């Protein structure tokens, strides 16, 4: 199957797709990132909650939120498993309408805005929380990938003609339960009639030699073997994803660009997730 005739399935309530987030919740995720002003764990949690909120908004119609997508969050650290908070705790893939109706809580956040007179003002906004920051234990990445494989294999059995699931994996360290290469390959070997599962690897590297790199098409500038491993396992971006990158994020990417980001700031984490999860071909 070529790119021209793959990744083109219509996404509808009768033929939904899904997003699965795999989130490193190891102890090192509690480290404060100077440019973020918060821990890696909190920054990633905020990014995921914002993304879920945006998905709900984009799939909302007059009669309510349409279930074009199901979404799930798997955390891995001291424990490996579903990581939604509140009423969705313990659930793996949840229809978007149910996510919309079941935040664990609503927080009030301050957002800086232009006051129209050359200054900055703060406005209070409501911010739904579905996923909380956690950081303890090791980095059992292989086990997390095996969980993803199980969840998505079951999904694909039930939705064989869907737009392929997208996995967004965010980690800051090396796997502590073995080399994850084969486990990642097993995930991306899964497929629907429309193409293989797509894997994004977002690596929040602690390597002092790691520069920020987004969606490279070659591993040459990567600073260490672990970054190269995550790059190699990541999927190539689809044509639609590259168009989103160009039109909305001013990134002119080659046809060989992969879903890999290294040493991202929080803005780039959000950008990467937006490119990977932007609704397309909705009906």
pLDDT, position 209: 75
Tens of pLDDT, residue by residue over 1-48, are: 445 468 989 999 999 999 999 999 999 999 988 777 889 999 999 999
pLDDT, position 113: 63
Which pair of structure tokens corresponds to residue 146? 């095996």
Confidence of residue 121 (pLDDT cuts 50, 70, 90): low
Burial class (CB in 10 A: 0-12, 13-18, 19+), 252: exposed
Collect all residues with Cβ–Cβ distance below 8 Å to 208 and sequence separation of at least 6. none
The answer to whether 256 and 237 have CB atoms below 8 angstroms apart is no
- Cα–Cα distances (Å) from 7 to 184, 191, 270, in that order, read 20, 11, 22
Tens of pLDDT, residue by residue over 172-213, are: 988 999 999 999 999 999 999 999 999 999 998 877 777 888
pLDDT, position 232: 95
The answer to whether 263 and 224 have CB atoms below 8 angstroms apart is no
Beta bridge partner(s), residue 75:
23, 81
Collect all residues with Cβ–Cβ distance below 8 Å to 75 and sequence separation of at least 6. 23, 25, 81, 82, 83, 134
Q: Which of 242, 239, 240 is nearest to 279 (CA)?
A: 240
Residue 265 has pLDDT above 60, yes or no: yes
Confidence of residue 63 (pLDDT cuts 50, 70, 90): confident
Tens of pLDDT, residue by residue over 139-154, are: 999 999 999 999 999 9
Mean pLDDT throughout 76-99? Answer: 97
Beta bridge partner(s), residue 169:
22, 201
* CATH-assigned architecture of domain 3-277: 3-Layer(aba) Sandwich (3.40)
263 vs 21, residue with greater confidence: 21
Residue 88 has pLDDT above 50, yes or no: yes
Which pair of structure tokens corresponds to residue 108? 């009030």
- DSSP H stretches of helix in 82-224: 96-101, 141-158, 181-189
pLDDT, position 125: 85
For the chain, give the mean pLDDT.
Answer: 90
Residue 69 has pLDDT above 60, yes or no: yes
CA dist 198 and 153 (Å) reads 13
Give the start-end residues of each E strand in 3-159. 17-24, 32-33, 38-39, 60-61, 64-65, 69-76, 80-82, 94-95, 105-114, 120-129
pLDDT, position 5: 60
pLDDT, position 268: 77
- DSSP H stretches of helix in 117-180: 141-158
pLDDT, position 1: 46
Domains in the chain: boundaries: 3-277
Which pair of structure tokens corresponds to residue 213? 């790199």
Beta bridge partner(s), residue 108:
126
Residue 247 has pLDDT above 60, yes or no: yes
Which pair of structure tokens corresponds to residue 180? 């994850």
């Amino acid at each position: 199957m070529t790119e021209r005739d793959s990744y083109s399935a219509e996404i509808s309530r009768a033929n939904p797709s899904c997003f699965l987030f795999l989130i490193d919740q190891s102890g090192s995720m509690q480290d404060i990132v100077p440019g973020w002003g918060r821990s890696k764990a909190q920054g990633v949690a905020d990014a995921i909650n914002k993304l879920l909120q945006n998905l709900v908004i984009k799939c909302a119609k007059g009669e309510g939120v349409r279930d074009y997508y199901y979404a799930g969050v798997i955390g891995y650290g001291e424990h490996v498993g579903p990581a939604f908070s509140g009423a969705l705790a313990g659930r793996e893939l949840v229809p978007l309408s149910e996510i919309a109706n079941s935040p664990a809580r609503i927080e009030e956040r301050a957002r800086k805005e232009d006051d129209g007179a050359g200054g900055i003002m703060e406005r209070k906004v409501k911010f739904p929380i579905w996923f909380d920051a956690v950081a303890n234990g090791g980095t059992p990445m292989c086990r997390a990938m095996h969980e993803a494989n199980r969840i998505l294999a079951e999904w694909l059995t039930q939705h064989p003609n869907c737009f392929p699931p997208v996995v967004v994996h965010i980690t800051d360290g090396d796997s502590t339960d073995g080399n994850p290469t084969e486990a990642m390959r097993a995930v991306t070997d899964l497929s629907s009639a429309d193409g293989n599962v797509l894997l994004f690897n977002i690596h929040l590297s602690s390597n002092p030699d790691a520069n920020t790199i987004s969606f490279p098409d070659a591993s040459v500038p990567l600073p260490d073997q672990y970054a190269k491993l995550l790059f190699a396992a990541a999927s190539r971006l689809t044509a639609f994803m590259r168009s989103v990158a160009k039109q909305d994020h001013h990134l002119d990417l080659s046809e060989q660009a992969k879903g890999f980001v290294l040493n991202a700031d929080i803005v780039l984490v959000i950008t990467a997730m937006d490119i990977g999860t932007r609704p397309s071909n909705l009906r």
